[in-house]
């Protein structure tokens, strides 16, 4: 039953991602404009160039904030990533065990690997 629920949520997340691809492309373009505005603002030396590049950066920021559907798509990407990680039910963190020369400890480690 758990896998059925994960599958249904995964399908919904995938449909949401596909529906918001255009908005995410717009977000990527506006983020590139914002980055270019900030980059060239920091490199410019004249006041006029700083004003122009600040206006470009503000325009990029406003268009990025206006792309609310793209943020929903990004949340759906995170949800789909989480569902794919939880599909097998395995923990993502692994415990690192130190190898020792003790034969009983090595036997226990090998026995644990066999029983998995």
What one-character DSSP code corresponds to residue 66?
T
What one-character DSSP code corresponds to residue 46?
S
Residue in the structure block whose two tokens are 């034969």 = 103
Confidence of residue 3 (pLDDT cuts 50, 70, 90): confident
Kindly report, residue by residue over 51-95, the tens digit of the pLDDT.
999 999 999 999 999 988 899 999 999 999 988 888 876 655 555
Instruction: Give the CA distances from residue 80 to residues 32, 66, 75, 87, in Å, rounded to whole numbers and listed in that order.
Output: 25, 24, 9, 10
Q: What is the pLDDT, as a whole number, of residue 41?
A: 95
CA 82/CA 94 separation, integer angstroms: 17
Does the predicted TM-score (pTM) go above 0.75?
no
What percentage of the chain has pLDDT greater than the value 90?
49
């Amino acid at each position: 039953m758990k896998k059925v629920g994960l599958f249904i949520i995964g399908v919904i997340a995938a449909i949401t991602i596909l529906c918001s691809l255009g908005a995410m492309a717009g977000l990527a373009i506006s983020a590139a404009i914002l980055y270019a505005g900030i980059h060239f603002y920091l490199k410019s030396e004249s006041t006029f160039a700083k004003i122009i590049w600040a206006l470009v950066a503000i325009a990029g920021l406003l268009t990025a904030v206006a792309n609310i559907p793209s943020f929903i798509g990004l949340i759906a990407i995170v949800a789909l990533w989480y569902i794919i990680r939880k599909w097998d039910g395995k923990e993502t963190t692994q415990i690192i065990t130190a190898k020792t020369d003790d034969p009983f400890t090595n036997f226990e480690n090998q026995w644990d690997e066999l029983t998995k």
